[in-house]
Structure 1
Amino acid sequence: MDYSKTATEVLKGVGGEGNVQSLVHCATRLRFVLKDESKADSAAIKATPGVVTTAQAGGQYQVVIGNDVPEVFEEIGKISKFGGGNDSSAATDAPKGNLFNRFISMISAIFTPLLWALAGTGLLKAFVAAAVTFGWLDPSTSTYLVLNALSDAFINFLPLALSITAARYFKASEFTSLAIAGALLYPTITASVGTEGLTFFGIPFTMVTYVSSVIPIIIIVWLQSYAEKFLYRVLPSAIRRFVTPMIVVLIAVPLVFLAVGPLSAVLSGWIGSGIGWVFATVPWAGGALMGGLWQVFVIFGLHWGLVPLFTLEFQNSGQILLIGPVFAAVLAQAAAVAGVWVRTRSKSLKSLAAPATLSGFLAGVTEPAIYGINLPLKRPFAFGIIGGAVGGAIIAIGGVYSTAFVVPSGLALPALFGNGNMVLLALGLAAAILISFVLTVVVGFKDPVENELIRAEGNDLEVRSPLDGTVVPLGDVPDAVFAEGGLGQGVAIMPRSGALYAPFDALVVAAFPTGHAIGLQHADGAELLIHIGIDTVKLGGKHFTLKVEGGQHVKAGDLLVEFDVAAITDAGYNLITPIVITNTELYPTVSTPASGPVAHGEPLFFAVAEEAAIAAS
C-alpha cells in the first residue's frame, strides 16, 4: 500500500480537512467525526487502494483499513492537522448526536491509544500464567517475579494511562491529570484500602482500591477540564500556571476519595455482580449473546461500549468472564472465511480469503474477513454468527475466564488456559470453528465466479472510443512498455481533435495534474488507462485542461480532458494515445478491436474476462 496516496485520497473523500472535526484510529479503522457526513464520497473512498470499506456508526464516519491503519493515520498527520501525533480527539470536537453515540465516541477516543499496549502486556501475562499452569515456570523464582511485573504493571497502573488519554480528549492538562492519578495509586493510599475510621478534615470516608480502575479517573479528568478553564479565566496571569494545578489537585483528589471512588466502586460491584449472576444462572444465554453478536457490534463500532465492562469486571473480581465467548465469535468468522477460501472457484476471492483467514485466526483482526468477504457474501457472515453463538454458549457453561485483557485470537488462547473447564473450552472453540466452516463449505454461498462466467461468455466489458481519431494497433506505439503489453492489452488512437471522453460509466481513480493521463475503474472491476501522447508528461500540464478529479464518478461520454493538438504536435510530441486495460489478472485480453477512423462513443474493443474462471467452472 502507498500510505501517502491512501491518506490523501481518504482525506479528500471525506470532504477534505475542512469537513473534519476530529480523527482517531483503532486497531483497524480511521474514525472521523465529520461536520457534514453528506459530503463524504463513500464510493470513492472504497475505491481507494488499501481501503476495505466504510461504515457510519456511533456518531463517526469509519474507514476500515486493516492492520496498516497506524501508517495511514500517520500520513494524514503529515498533510493535515489531524492524525499522526496531533491532538485530534478533543471533546469540543465530539459529535453532537445522541448521548449513546457520544459515549461510544468518548470510549473509543480514550481507549484506542492504549489498546495495543494493553493487549500486548495482557498476552504476555497470558503466556506467563500458562507457563505456571503447565509447570514450565516456578512462581517462587525471581524470573517469574520479573516477568509478572512486566506483564502486570500496565493493567495495574491503568489509571495513569487513562489520565493522559482522557486529558487529551477533554482538553485538560495531562500532567495535572497524571498527578491526580498518581495520588490514587500512591503506595500509602493503596495500603490503606479497607482501613476503618479514615477521615478528611473530619469527613469520614472509606478508601477503595483504584488499581486497574476506569471510572474514577475519567470522571475526575472531565471535571478537571472545566475547573481549569474556570481558574484560568479568573486567576491573574502571573500565578495561574502554578496555582491552577495546585487548586485542581487539592480539590480533585479528596473529591475522588470522598465521593467518586466509593460511588464508582458500588457501580463496579453491581456491574460485576450482574455479569457474574448471568454467567452463573444462565451462562449459555450470556455466552451465546457475546459469541453471536460480538462481530455485529464490531461492524457498527459498538464493541467499544463493552471494553470498559471488561476492565470493570477485572477490577471487581480479577477475572473476565465476558471475554471467553468472544474468542468463539472471532474464530468462527475466521473459520467462515476459511470455508470461502476452500469452496470458492474465484481466483480473486481466494486471494482475498487466504490472508483474511490467517489474520482472523492468528491476530483476531476480522475486519478484512467481515467487510471484504463474509458480509458481502451474506451467508458466511450468518454462519459465523451461528458458530460463534454455539461456541460462546459452551464456553460460558464451562465457566471459562481470562485473567488478563487480551485481543481474542489464536495467539491469545493461553489467557484462558487453566481458567475454568478446559474440556468445554476446547469443545466450544471446536464447535465455533467447525460449524462455521462446514456450513460455509457445505451449504455454500453465491460464488462470484458465476458472475465472472456470465461476463466471460458474452457480457465482456465494452470499451467505447474516448477520442475522435484513427485506431492504431498497440504494437505500433513508439514506446516499448505499451507496445509489448507491459501495462496491459488494448489499442491506441491517433487523435484528430483535442477532447477526451469517458468510454463507459466509471470512477476516476487517477487524474494526473498534468492532464496527460487518466485512470478509470468500471463497476465490474476493469481498470482502464488512457495516456495522451508519448512523453507528454514533460509538458508539465501545458496545453492540457483536466475537467475531472480523482474520486469523481463520470458517465459514458462525459468530457474528461481537453488538449491542444496543434500546440502539442508543434512542441515535438507524438500524440498517439494508448488505451489499455491494466488489471490483466481479471481481463488479460481484448477482442474485436476497431480499426481505421473512429469517433468518440463508437465501439473500440471488448475487454475479455479472465479465462481461468471459465476453466475452473
Structure 2
Amino acid sequence: MADHAKTAAGVLAGVGGESNVQSLVHCATRLRFVLKDEGKADAAAIRATPGVITTAQAGGQYQVVIGNDVPDVYAAIQSQTTLGGDAEGGESGAKGNLFNRFITMISSIFTPILWALAGTGLLKAFVAAAVTFGWLDATSTTYTILNALSDALINFLPLALAITAARYFKASEFTSFAIAGALVYPTITALNGQPDITFFGIPVTMVSYVSSVIPVIIIVWLQSYAERFLLKVLPGAVRRFLAPMIVVLVAVPLVFLVIGPISSLVGGGLAAGIGWVFETLPWLGGAIMGGLWQVFVIFGLHWGLVPLFQLEYQTTGQILLLGPVFAAVLAQAAAVAGVLVRTRNKNLRSLAAPATLSGFLAGITEPAIYGINLPLKRPFAFGVVGGALGGALIAMGGVFSKAFVVPSGLALPALLGNGNMIMLGIGLLVAIVVPFVLVVVFGFTDPVDAAAPATPAATTDTVVLSPVDGTVVPLTEVPDAAFADGSLGKGVAIRPTSGAVYAPFDGTVVAAFPTGHAVGLRGADGVELLIHVGLDTVKLGGEHFTLKVQSGTEVKAGDLLVEFDGDAIEKAGYDLITPVIVTNGDLYPDIADAASGPLSHGETLFRAVSVDSLTPAR
C-alpha cells in the first residue's frame, strides 16, 4: 500500500521545504509548485522518493509527477503544512513571462473542476450513445433526468469557474458567483439573439453565456482589483455590503455591453479557424493534435488548449480538436504495451503492466511516458508517430465529441455516432498497432542489456549516535501521528536540553532544509536518517535556526549541523520534541538497542538493523 505521508515528506524536502513554496495546486497526475527559488529544488532526491514518477519544469511551474495517487499525496502535504487550499495559487504565485503566467492561471482555474467535468462529460457521452443505439428513448423522463445530471456542470460552467477564478485572483467567491449567476440567469439566457435589447437606453448585443469561459475569467480578474480598491476607500461601517453591491452593479452590465460581445467574437473566430483547418486540411490538424499532444503534456502546454475545447463547444456544440487526442493517448499506451512484450527486465515489466492499463482505460499516460517511454526514447517517438497517423485519419473522418471528456478507452462513447465511424475505427487501430509493432520489431535499449549497476543492499547494521543532548523518549510519545505510528520511519525521539544538532555518523547531507528545522543524512553504509527539530517548526520560516551545512556536504560524526534557540521556539508555541528516524526502511527495516533517559550527543542512540541481519543464514 502506498505511503502517501512519506511521499509528501520526501517531495516537500526535495523542493526546498515549505518556505520555498510560493503556491501549490495539483492536476490529474501532478503536483504543480510555484517555487520562490527553483535552484533549491533537488530533482534527483525528488525522483528517488517512493511514489514519484519524475519531475518537470514548464509553464513557470515545478511539476512533480505522481500519477493516479496525486490527490492523496496533495492531501498529505496539506496535513503536514499550510500549503494548498483556497488561499493558494493566486496572482502572487505566478511568475515568468506572460505565456507562463497564462498557463499557470489556466491550470489553476480548471484543475479543481477537471475530474468532475470529465466525469459528467463521460456520463453525457454514455447517455448520447444510448440514444443513438436506441437503448434509451429521448422523450422519456429517464432521459430527461440523466441528461440534466450529466449536462448541468457544463451548462452552468461559468458558476464553477467563478469560484475557482475567485480563488486564483483572490476575489470574493460569492460575489463572483453572483456575477456568473446573472450571466446564466434563465430570463437573461432567453434574451440571446433577440433584437432591440437595451440597458438604460444603451443597445446591448446579447450573446449566450451558457458553457462560456472567457467572460467570467476576465470579469473576476477585474473584480479582484475593484474589490481591493473599494475596501480601501469605503467607510468601515458599510464597506462589507456596499463593495459587493457596487461590484455586481458595474461588472454584470460591463460583461453584457463589452466583454461578452468581444469574447464571443474572438471565440467565434477561433472556432471558425479550427473548423477551417479541420475542413480544409483535416489531416494536418489531426496530425498536429495526435502527434504533439503528449509533447504538450510534458511541458504543461496542453492547459492552453483546454479553453479552446470549451470555446469550440460553446460556439458549435461539438469539439473537433478532441478526436485526434484519443489517438495520441492510445498510441503511447500501445507503445508501453510493446515494451511490456519486448523487455526481459522484470522491473521494467512490472512498471509497464499497470502503465498499459492506466493508459488504455483511464487515459492517464504519465506513468507510461515518464516511467518508460521517454527514458527509453524510441517507444515515445514511436508513440508520437502512431498518434500523428491515427489523429490524421480521425480528423479526415470529421470525428468530433459532443462532451468534454478525458480521452481514454472508457471515454470512446463520446465519439460514437459523431462523424465517419469507419475512419474513427481505422484511425484508432493505426494509433494502437503502429507504435506497438514498431516497439516490438525495432526495440529499444533494454536495461537488462545495459548492465546497469545494481543498487547494493545493506549488508551491515549502522550505529546511530545521538545528534542532540537531551532525554530519549519512544517515538509513540510524539504528538504527531505521522511520526508516532512509524509512517515516516522507525526511530526514537529526543527532548533537547541544548541548542545544537550534530552528525550522528560519517556520511553525506542529502537534504538540508533552508528553514534549518530538519536535516536528512545518508551514512557510508547506506542508512538514511531524518532529524526533525520540533513539530511544525517549518512554519517559523527559519527563525531561531542557523543551518551550518548544505545538501551534498560530507560530514563526520560529531560535526555541527544546526544551531537553534530552544527557548525561543517553545515561547513561540512549538513543541521542541525531536524525532530521529530511519527513512529507508526497505534496507533498514528495524532498529535495536535504543537508548532511554538522558544522554549527550555522540553517545549511542540506537542501531539501525539492516535487511541482511534479519535474513536467516542458509
The C-alpha deviation readout for 1:562-595, integer Å capped at 9, x for no partner, is: 89xx9979999999967746799xxx9999xxxx
Change (3 A) 1:568 1:506: closer
Matched, 1:64 2:62: no
The C-alpha deviation readout for 1:330-357, integer Å capped at 9, x for no partner, is: 0000000111111000000001001100
Given that 1:287 and 1:392 are in contact with CA atoms closer than 8 Å, whether structure 2 keeps it comes out as: yes
Matched, 1:115 2:114: yes
For 1:569 and 1:77, the matched residues in 2 are separated by 33
Matched, 1:233 2:238: no
Number of the residue aligned with 2:506? 501
Given that 2:459 and 2:611 are in contact with CA atoms closer than 8 Å, whether structure 1 keeps it comes out as: no
For 2:400 and 2:436, the matched residues in 1 are separated by 25
- Measured after TM superposition, the shift of residue 451 of structure 1 is 2.8
Specify the SS of the correspondent of 1:24.
strand
TM-score norm. by structure 2 comes to: 0.78
Given that 1:9 and 1:45 are in contact with CA atoms closer than 8 Å, whether structure 2 keeps it comes out as: yes
For 2:528 and 2:207, the matched residues in 1 are separated by 70
Specify the SS of the correspondent of 1:63.
strand
Given that 1:319 and 1:404 are in contact with CA atoms closer than 8 Å, whether structure 2 keeps it comes out as: yes
Specify the SS of the correspondent of 1:399.
coil
Given that 1:8 and 1:76 are in contact with CA atoms closer than 8 Å, whether structure 2 keeps it comes out as: yes
Number of the residue aligned with 1:524? none
- Measured after TM superposition, the shift of residue 559 of structure 1 is 3.1
Number of the residue aligned with 1:430? 429
- Measured after TM superposition, the shift of residue 13 of structure 1 is 1.2
For 2:361 and 2:612, the matched residues in 1 are separated by 34
The C-alpha deviation readout for 1:137-160, integer Å capped at 9, x for no partner, is: 111111001000111110000000
Given that 1:393 and 1:428 are in contact with CA atoms closer than 8 Å, whether structure 2 keeps it comes out as: yes
For 2:617 and 2:155, the matched residues in 1 are separated by 64
Given that 1:58 and 1:101 are in contact with CA atoms closer than 8 Å, whether structure 2 keeps it comes out as: yes
- Measured after TM superposition, the shift of residue 5 of structure 1 is 1.5
Where in structure 2 are the equivalents of 1:33-52 lying within 5 Å?
Answer: 33-52=34-53
Given that 1:295 and 1:329 are in contact with CA atoms closer than 8 Å, whether structure 2 keeps it comes out as: yes
Specify the SS of the correspondent of 1:446.
coil
Given that 1:530 and 1:580 are in contact with CA atoms closer than 8 Å, whether structure 2 keeps it comes out as: no
What one-letter code is carried by the residue in structure 2 that aligns with 1:354?
A
What one-letter code is carried by the residue in structure 1 that aligns with 2:80?
I
Matched, 1:196 2:195: yes
Number of the residue aligned with 1:135? 134
Where in structure 2 are the equivalents of 1:304-315 lying within 5 Å?
Answer: 304-315=303-314
Where in structure 2 are the equivalents of 1:258-297 lying within 5 Å?
Answer: 258-297=257-296
Structure 2 gap ranges (5+): 464-502, 530-546, 561-592
Number of the residue aligned with 2:374? 375
- Measured after TM superposition, the shift of residue 93 of structure 1 is 2.2
Matched positions, count: 526
For 1:71 and 1:272, the matched residues in 2 are separated by 37
Number of the residue aligned with 1:28? 29
Number of the residue aligned with 2:92? 92
Number of the residue aligned with 2:5? 4
For 1:110 and 1:239, the matched residues in 2 are separated by 31
Change (3 A) 1:231 1:56: same
Of 556, 559, 573 in structure 2, the residue corresponding to residue 559 of structure 1 is: 556
Given that 1:91 and 1:169 are in contact with CA atoms closer than 8 Å, whether structure 2 keeps it comes out as: yes
Larger radius of gyration: 1
For 1:500 and 1:232, the matched residues in 2 are separated by 57
The C-alpha deviation readout for 1:339-392, integer Å capped at 9, x for no partner, is: 111100000000100110000000000001100000000000000000000000
Specify the SS of the correspondent of 1:55.
strand
Number of the residue aligned with 1:18? 19
Given that 1:530 and 1:577 are in contact with CA atoms closer than 8 Å, whether structure 2 keeps it comes out as: no
Specify the SS of the correspondent of 2:212.
coil
The C-alpha deviation readout for 1:171-190, integer Å capped at 9, x for no partner, is: 11100001000100111110
- Measured after TM superposition, the shift of residue 77 of structure 1 is 1.2
Change (3 A) 1:553 1:2: farther
For 2:237 and 2:210, the matched residues in 1 are separated by 37
Change (3 A) 1:583 1:388: farther
TM-score norm. by structure 1 comes to: 0.79
Structure 1 gap ranges (5+): 468-497, 522-526, 532-547, 592-617
Where in structure 2 are the equivalents of 1:563-582 lying within 5 Å?
Answer: 580=610
- Measured after TM superposition, the shift of residue 12 of structure 1 is 1.6
Given that 2:594 and 2:605 are in contact with CA atoms closer than 8 Å, whether structure 1 keeps it comes out as: no
Number of the residue aligned with 1:218? 217
Given that 1:528 and 1:579 are in contact with CA atoms closer than 8 Å, whether structure 2 keeps it comes out as: no
